[in-house]
Structure 1
Amino acid sequence: MTPRPHVLLSVAVSVDGYIDDASPQRLKLSNAADFDRVDQLRAESDAILIGAETLRRDNPRLLVNSADRRSARVAAGKPEYPLKIAVSARGDLDPELRFWQHGGDKLVYTTHAGAAKLGDRLAGLAQVVPLGVDIDLGALLDDLGRRGVARLMVEGGTRIHTQFLAADLADELQLAVAPIIVGHAAAPRFLGPAAYPERRMGLAEVSQIGDVALLRYLPRQSGDAAHDC
């Protein structure tokens, strides 16, 4: 059986667990050094995945910004940019979004119903891959493994991160905590309610990047058991 990719979840959050505020403009939680760290993670990845809601809200290009890192990828025999992946159950994706206009190859994982909407809409922009009546993330990872993707970086948003962690499909979580308090009830959080695995994650690393704290967790590796005081 072809191995599934290593799945890395990457997210920046406020101290109170939000990934954005409730304003129309995107809240920049990371600092310049942390944005550069994320660019390095992208350069090390074979593919980068984002959910439809985040795609519509943030309209990102999702690129490796460093020319040196792109050159290093090419020198190593890789495409200049990682494969870019969008996930949309309903297929409500605008072909004018910046995501489609920049970078290399793109995939969209969707349902049979979503594929019926996207086939013509994204013709020439992305390959549309229907996964069935619903989107099964395990089937998605199996398909990526068959495509030669060994390292997948997941950049959100809430629903996508929730689904990967609830399904126990994440190998690594890099959580950048910014010294900001959002406090908006309507703002999106890192995770939503779900039936998550009932165990402690392994804490692999804690580091400081300017005023940002980076926590690296291994979700499938149990941490030390809690002790009552």
Structure 2
Amino acid sequence: MDRPYTILSCAMSVDGRIDDTGPERLRLSNEADFAEIDELRAGCDAILVGAGTLRADNPRLLVRSAVLRERRREQGRTENLLKAVITRGGDIDPKARFFTTGDAGAVVYTGGAGVDTATRLLSDRPEDHPPADVVDAGDPPTVDAILTDLADRGVERLLVEGGGHIHTLFLTSGLVDELRLAVAPFFVGEEDAPSFVRPGAYPYTPRTPMRLVEARSLGEVAVLRYCLTSEENG
């Protein structure tokens, strides 16, 4: 495979919402699922989100477990993953935890005027912060360009963690190999709550469905894993 094996992971409500409209982040998972996601992260080389996720959640996107970080060190890898963010306009906060934590650096994928905007915003970062690159991935950025750049950086396994616009971008591209959904046992029921995906031309239709390879429970959370390619790799 000439691109990273790409896994998309998301936790959602039964009605497909990934948050509510309240000021606090909605908890859609449990500790057992968080631990599995940490293990999944530790087995990947890079993690990718959208700029909206950075603004809404200010995530660190690190491997939480000290045991898993030590295992990565023993494998000759950085403790944490390379972080990637997609932003069409380049308007990112250089003080966000995404850019100030971790030991593997970050990549900003943008295009057009966003390249100059992101470069300017990141130019005054302290020298002791992890490195951050700005890459022109098209205007708007394309999944093909992003995966090509990540492959050139030695990324073999990529974990995509949202939000809804990024899920849609990757799933409509047909370049996702595996989908992991954690389904919380409740409804959000709010029309304006962000959803797992947006309308789009998906290659996974009633005639060409995804293949369910695992379905199980973690407490009250249902975990569904789908293979999106003709052969399950990795």
**Is it true that 1:113 corresponds to 2:119 in the alignment?**
no
How far off is 1:134 after superposition?
2.0
SS in 2 for 1:220: coil
Q: Tell me the alpha carbon deviations over residues 188-211 of structure 1, each in whole angstroms, 9 at most, x when there is no partner.
A: 000100011132100011111111
Tell me which of 132, 142, 154 is aligned to 2:138. Answer: 132
Between the two proteins, what is the percent identity of the paired residues?
50
Structure 2 unpaired stretches of 5+: 126-130
Q: Tell me the alpha carbon deviations over residues 78-98 of structure 1, each in whole angstroms, 9 at most, x when there is no partner.
A: 111110111101111111211
SS in 2 for 1:207: strand
| Structure 2 partner of 1:122 | 122
SS in 2 for 1:133: coil
How far off is 1:49 after superposition?
0.2
Counterpart Cα distance in 2 of 1:133 and 1:175: 30
| Structure 1 partner of 2:128 | none
Tell me which of 161, 168, 171 is aligned to 2:167. Answer: 161
| Structure 2 partner of 1:144 | 150
Report if aligned partners of 2:138, 2:145 keep a CA contact under 8 Å in 1.
no
**Is it true that 1:211 corresponds to 2:220 in the alignment?**
yes
Counterpart Cα distance in 2 of 1:133 and 1:65: 34
Counterpart Cα distance in 2 of 1:162 and 1:74: 34
SS in 2 for 1:144: helix
| Structure 2 partner of 1:225 | none
How far off is 1:156 after superposition?
0.3
Report if aligned partners of 1:47, 1:85 keep a CA contact under 8 Å in 2.
yes
SS in 2 for 1:176: strand
TM-score scaled by structure 2?
A: 0.91
Runs of 4+ in structure 1 off by over 6 angstroms are none
How far off is 1:120 after superposition?
2.3
Q: CA RMSD in A?
A: 1.3
Structure 1 unpaired stretches of 5+: 223-229
**Is it true that 1:92 corresponds to 2:91 in the alignment?**
yes
**Is it true that 1:184 corresponds to 2:185 in the alignment?**
no
